[in-house]
Amino acid sequence: VHFEKKPTIVLDNGSGGNANLQVGSVTSTDAETVVDFGSNVQVNIVPTAGYVVDTVTFTADGQTRNAELAADKDIRYATLDNVTHNTTVAVTYKPKPVVTVDSGANGTVTISATKDFTEGAISSGSYVDFDSDVEVEVSPVKGYVIETVTVNGDNASLTEIANSDNKSFTVY
């Protein structure tokens, strides 16, 4: 009599989110999950707020390949078909860009951008979605004008807001 060990899926989930394995109707968050030969495994990946999935790789039998990801907003799905070898699923995350504004004294700054797929006002120190336009309106208090605005150390090109001392700009 000879017994063969079933394949094991090792889930190496980096920091910045949660991942689980789904085999049929069974969901596992275990670091190691034993599956039947020929199983199809779905990897469900949910980044924590302020993060996105960076990479998902499958390593089996000495070969590593990038997973093809399907998406539903920030949630990602990858499928590992017909498992016949021990496989490591490695998930990495990266932080979303953070917008920090120092408005200084004698004025206010209003920021709007896309955060978690919703356009709207954000506060300084908030993360935004990748490829989001960041719109900033600078408003001096009465008796002051805007002298300079810098973005990442460079002077920003400002747009006058009609009938006001306020100015706005967009960071792309």
**Given this model, what pLDDT does residue 142 score?**
85
Two structure tokens written together for 101: 């504004």
- Could you read off the pLDDT of 82-127 as tens digits, one per residue? 999 999 999 999 999 998 888 778 888 888 999 988 999 999 999 9
CA dist., res. 102 & res. 85, Å (int): 54
Closest to 51 (Cα-Cα) out of 89, 101, 99, 17: 17
Low-confidence ranges of the chain (pLDDT < 50): none
CB neighbours of 130 closer than 8 A, spacing ≥ 6? 52, 96, 97
Residue 88 vs residues 81, 115, 160: alpha-carbon distances, Å: 14, 32, 55
**Given this model, what pLDDT does residue 139 score?**
83
CA dist., res. 121 & res. 83, Å (int): 46
**Given this model, what pLDDT does residue 171 score?**
62
Three-state DSSP class for residue 161: coil
Two structure tokens written together for 81: 């078909």
**Given this model, what pLDDT does residue 42 score?**
95
Place of tokens 């792309």: 172
**Given this model, what pLDDT does residue 161 score?**
64
**Given this model, what pLDDT does residue 30 score?**
92
**Given this model, what pLDDT does residue 107 score?**
85
**Given this model, what pLDDT does residue 135 score?**
86
**Given this model, what pLDDT does residue 14 score?**
94
